[in-house]
Amino acid sequence: MNEPAASTPPGSARVRPLMSIGEVLAELRVDFPDTTISKLRFLEAEGLVEPQRTAAGYRKYSWDDVARLRFVLSAQRDQYLPLRVIREQLADWDAAGESSAGRQRPMLVAVGPAGEVPGRSAEESAESSEVRLGRADLVARSGVDSATLGELERLGVVVADPPGWYDADALIIARAVAGLAAYGLEPRHLRGYRTAADREVGLFAQLVAPLVRQSDPAARARAAETARELVALSQQLHAALVRVGLRSTLGR
């Protein structure tokens, strides 16, 4: 049940009113439709946001709190950043903001160490987990032809959801395949990627399964965050190993 909304204090017309957790959820779901109350409580438990509490124990969020939540959710969705890295970036922001306490609603942008946005292009960042594409749309937007898509499906690299819809991850995979094809790689060369991914899925599933089996919503939220961080770490490890392996070929 949503907590009651806070009213604007008398004589504070210029001060934005505090918000209940239900109001914050409605505000965030415009851009982050998968957000839940359990997710917000989980992020609070992880120390990423600290809403005020009323005498009755209800959470009350400021616009600064909402900005922090947007920062966290954007960094997770668009950049696959683990909570540890996000927490460090928030700590840096807090330190830099000590002399600007009057700022009401800061615009926070999570970036990589060199100022880049890791993991996704601006176009991919706009893709939602709710994306549903038909076959023709996937071909048109990814750059692969229908025959190549059929081969990717045969190899299990791209999988359609019944009754034949493709999600945002299928689009990302198909675009990556199209990019690799420009260098001469064919779908048959990608069988190893599918095999390696399946091995990681099996390994990571063992790590998150104990949390998934719990009925506590907080435990399930932690399982989702753990899986997200494992994926991000795996991507970093894979990229570093490939770079190391290519050094001798590049003469470095």
**Per-residue pLDDT tens digits for 45-79:** 888 899 998 888 889 999 889 989 999 988 888 77
pLDDT for residue 172 is more than 50 = yes
Model-level pTM greater than 0.85? no
pLDDT at position 231 = 83
Q: Which two tokens stand for residue 92?
A: 């840096």
pLDDT at position 31 = 85
- pLDDT (average), residues 26-52: 87
pLDDT at position 252 = 66
Q: Which residue has the higher pLDDT, 50 or 233?
A: 50
95-154 pLDDT, tens per residue?
Answer: 876 433 333 344 444 444 433 444 444 334 334 445 788 899 889 988 899 999 999 998
* Secondary structure letter of residue 48 according to DSSP: S
Quickly state the pLDDT bin for 41 (edges 50, 70, 90): confident
Mean pLDDT computed over every residue of the chain: 78
Do residues 28 and 70 lie in contact, with contact meaning Cβ atoms separated by under 8 Å?
Answer: yes
| Torsion sign (Cα): 246, 248, 251, 252 | positive
Distance CA(144)–CA(6), nearest Å, equals: 52
Q: Which residue has the higher pLDDT, 118 or 184?
A: 184
Which stretch, 65-69, 114-118, 221-225, 245-249, has highest mean pLDDT?
65-69
Distance CA(114)–CA(23), nearest Å, equals: 36
Q: How far is CA 168 from CA 93, 130, 139, 194, 229, in A?
A: 31, 8, 13, 18, 19
